[in-house]
């Protein structure tokens, strides 16, 4: 029996009952059966955070193969900001599906690709002329941003930061900081990648942003040299690395230095982009206008699509045919993106991310004031995290973090961890999550912390 035979009648989207409901233990018997099949068919290297199989999702819930309805605090890692099977997105995709599914944009063009580029050029920070190019994954877009920056500057070196995450392809693995699980055994990595220190207020003694940036710049000048440096790439809020919000002034100081030194400043907004942080892009909070912005995840309501958007002179620099790919900017994904962007703009989702953030920050700060194991509460908008520590030493407590996540999963909450030290719990609810589910999910997290 296949999943489709099993579940043909189930429809996802916001009409799904918005409730947490456990009808079996987690994972239930159906998920366990499917997991056994998975283990016999799928590479063991492909893991899972929560060992259940999904049959439907929408609003703020995900329904598993046993009929359990789980509160979704992950959004498929910050992807389904507009909610799973968002009706606008489903309708736009269905219309496109019935017209054509693929031409390869570099064989014959179609207007939805152009329209997505226009929307990105309009929405991203910076009131200069821009161009965009579309790809499939975040990693692929990061690779292309670096290619374009190298072509434009005629230089080769790239600087990434401590705790960075930029993807799993060869170049992006090299840019990524954390060894296990992302890099170990997968080298050699691409050359001309260098690493600079980050502003990490909770762990750098609260260094102010300008001083932290000067430290990074000194490292770059001493170990790389601006004359060799094509690009600096940084996530405005480090995602996989632990939801690290740099101190105020850090990013603007780096941007100013890059501009003075003919270095392309690339913001990787793959995780922070599209309303998530309570602004359309996290760069907006910092008042910076990156030369290039990389987007993916939240761009297309769950369809694989990514983009590189940047200054027209940089983006137009490579030779014609130098940038492309079979599927980049696929017409179904473009239709999804246009509907998704419409939803962010017309359904008040930037505002909703701020509201969700206020609720989460309030609850988590209250918990932290009573429990010294919560060393830090941080984030912006609906991108929030807690860092768990040994209160005596401030040392990261990954074991406690794992216990909290496990409790939440068993009690019907999809909860993700992150952080270089594995001691951060992150909250990334869909922006369509109703308040009662947000409250209930936070209550279960509080129970989980109390029980751990
Ligand atoms: N840049 C900032 O967060 C993807 C990784 C999931 P892709 N982060 C989730 C996993 O375990 O593989 C990410 C990101 C930032 C780039 C990427 C890469 O995006 O679409 O996964 O390639």
pLDDT digits (tens, 9 = 90+) for 109-166: 999 999 999 999 999 999 999 999 999 999 999 999 999 999 999 999 999 999 999 9
pLDDT band at 8 (very low <50, low <70, confident <90, very high): low
Cα(172) to ligand 1 centroid in Å equals 10
Report the alpha-carbon angle 275-280-283, nearest 5: 120
Which residue(s) pair with 417 in the sheet?
A: 425
Residue with CA at minimum distance from ligand 1 atom 9: 77
pLDDT at 3 over 60: no
Predicted confidence at residue 6, as pLDDT, reads 53
Report the alpha-carbon angle 58-62-64, nearest 5: 135
Which residue(s) pair with 232 in the sheet?
A: 159, 265
Cα(451) to ligand 1 centroid in Å equals 31
Residue 115: other Cβ atoms inside 10 A: 15
Give the model confidence (pLDDT) of 165-206 as tens digits: 999 999 999 999 999 999 999 999 999 999 999 999 999 999
pLDDT at 9 over 80: no
pLDDT at 5 over 70: no
- How many angstroms from the chain centroid is the CA of residue 231? 21
Q: Which helix (H) or strand (E) holds 385?
A: strand 383-388
To the nearest whole percent, how much of the chain has pLDDT over 70?
Answer: 98
90-99 long-range contacts (CB < 8 A, ≥24 apart) are 90/13, 91/339, 92/335, 92/336, 92/338, 92/339, 93/303, 93/332, 93/335, 93/336, 93/339, 95/335, 96/331, 96/332, 96/334, 96/335, 97/332, 99/331
| Probe target for ligand 1 pocket from 47, 49, 239, with the most ligand atoms within 8 Å of CB | 239
Cα(22) to ligand 1 centroid in Å equals 30
- Peptide bond just before 188 cis, omega within 30 deg: yes
What is the number of the ligand 1 atom nearest to the C-alpha of 306? 20
Locate 408 and state its tokens: 């939440």
Residue 432: other Cβ atoms inside 10 A: 23
Strand, coil or helix: what is 318?
coil
pLDDT at 258 over 60: yes
Residues contacting ligand 1 via CB (< 6 Å): 77, 137-139, 142, 165-168, 235, 239-240, 268, 270-271, 296
Report the alpha-carbon angle 30-33-34, nearest 5: 90
Q: Which helix (H) or strand (E) holds 58?
A: strand 54-58
**Residue in the block written with tokens 């694989």:** 304
Q: For the chain, give the number of residues.
A: 452
pLDDT at 1 over 50: no
Buried b (16+ CB within 10 A) or exposed e, 314-327: bbebbeeeebbbee
Predicted confidence at residue 299, as pLDDT, reads 98
pLDDT band at 52 (very low <50, low <70, confident <90, very high): very high
Predicted confidence at residue 7, as pLDDT, reads 57
Number of alpha carbons in the 13 Å side-chain half-sphere of residue 317: 17
The whole-number average pLDDT for the span 233-238 is: 98
Cα(58) to ligand 1 centroid in Å equals 22
Query: Where is average pLDDT lowest: 4-8, 16-20, 252-256, 266-270?
Result: 4-8
The whole-number average pLDDT for the span 223-246 is: 98
Pairing verdict, β 383-388 and 374-380: antiparallel
- What are φ and ψ of residue 188, in 5° steps? -75, 155
Residue with CA at minimum distance from ligand 1 atom 19: 138
pLDDT band at 10 (very low <50, low <70, confident <90, very high): confident
Give the model confidence (pLDDT) of 70-98 as tens digits: 999 999 999 999 999 999 999 999 999 99
Predicted confidence at residue 2, as pLDDT, reads 47
Cα(80) to ligand 1 centroid in Å equals 14
**Residue in the block written with tokens 């912390």:** 449
- How does DSSP classify residue 279? S
Predicted confidence at residue 166, as pLDDT, reads 98
| Probe target for ligand 1 pocket from 76, 77, 181, with the most ligand atoms within 8 Å of CB | 77
What is the number of the ligand 1 atom nearest to the C-alpha of 235? 2
pLDDT at 318 over 90: yes
Buried b (16+ CB within 10 A) or exposed e, 254-277: bbebbeeeebbbbbbbbbbbbbbb
The overall average pLDDT reported for the chain is: 97
Q: Shortest CA distance to 414 belongs to which of 164, 80, 11?
A: 80
> Distances in Å between the alpha carbon of 410 and those of 225, 276, 352, 447?
51, 27, 28, 12
Distance CA(149)–CA(32), nearest Å, equals: 47
Distance CA(71)–CA(63), nearest Å, equals: 9
What is the number of the ligand 1 atom nearest to the C-alpha of 77? 9
Distance CA(244)–CA(227), nearest Å, equals: 29
Strand, coil or helix: what is 377?
strand
């Amino acid at each position: 029996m296949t999943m489709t035979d099993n579940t043909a009648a189930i429809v996802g989207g916001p009409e799904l009952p918005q409730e947490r409901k456990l009808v079996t233990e987690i994972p239930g018997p159906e998920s366990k059966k499917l997991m056994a099949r998975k283990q016999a068919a799928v590479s063991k290297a492909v893991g899972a955070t929560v060992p259940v199989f999904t049959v439907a999702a929408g609003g703020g819930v995900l329904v598993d193969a046993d009929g359990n309805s789980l509160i979704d605090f992950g959004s498929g890692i910050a992807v389904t900001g507009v909610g799973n099977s968002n009706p606008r997105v489903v309708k736009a995709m269905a219309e496109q599906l019935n017209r054509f599914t693929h031409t390869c944009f570099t064989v014959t063009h179609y207007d939805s690709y152009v329209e997505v580029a226009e929307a990105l050029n309009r929405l991203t920070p910076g009131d200069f002329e821009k161009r965009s190019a579309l790809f499939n994954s975040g990693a692929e877009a990061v690779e292309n941003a670096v290619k374009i920056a190298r072509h434009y500057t005629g230089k080769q070196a790239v600087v990434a930061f401590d705790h960075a995450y930029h993807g799993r392809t060869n170049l992006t693995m090299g840019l990524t900081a954390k060894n296990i699980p992302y890099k170990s055994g997968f080298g050699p990595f691409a050359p001309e990648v260098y690493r600079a220190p980050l502003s990490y207020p909770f762990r750098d003694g609260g260094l102010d942003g300008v001083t932290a940036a000067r430290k990074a710049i000194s490292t770059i000048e001493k170990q790389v040299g601006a004359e060799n440096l094509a690009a600096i790439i940084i996530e405005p809020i480090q995602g996989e690395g632990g939801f690290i919000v740099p101190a105020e002034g850090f990013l603007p100081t780096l941007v100013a230095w890059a501009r003075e030194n003919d270095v392309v400043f690339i913001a990787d907004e793959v995780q922070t982009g599209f309303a998530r942080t309570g602004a359309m892009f996290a760069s907006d909070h910092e008042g910076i206008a990156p030369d290039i912005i990389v987007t993916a995840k939240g761009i297309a309501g769950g369809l694989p699509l990514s983009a590189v958007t940047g200054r027209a002179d940089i983006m137009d620099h490579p030779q014609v045919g130098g940038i492309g790919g079979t599927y980049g900017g696929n017409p179904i994904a473009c239709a999804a993106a246009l509907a998704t962007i419409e939803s962010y703009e017309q359904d008040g989702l930037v505002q909703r991310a701020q509201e969700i953030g206020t609720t989460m920050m309030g609850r988590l700060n209250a918990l932290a004031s009573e429990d010294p194991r919560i060393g830090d509460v941080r984030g912006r908008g609906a991108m929030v995290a807690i860092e768990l520590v040994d209160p005596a030493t401030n040392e990261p407590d990954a074991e406690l973090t794992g216990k909290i996540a496990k409790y939440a999963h068993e009690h019907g909450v999809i909860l993700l961890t992150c952080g270089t030290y594995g001691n951060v719990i992150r909250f990334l609810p869909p922006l369509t999550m109703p308040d009662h589910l947000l409250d209930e999910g936070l209550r279960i997290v509080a129970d989980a912390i109390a029980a751990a």
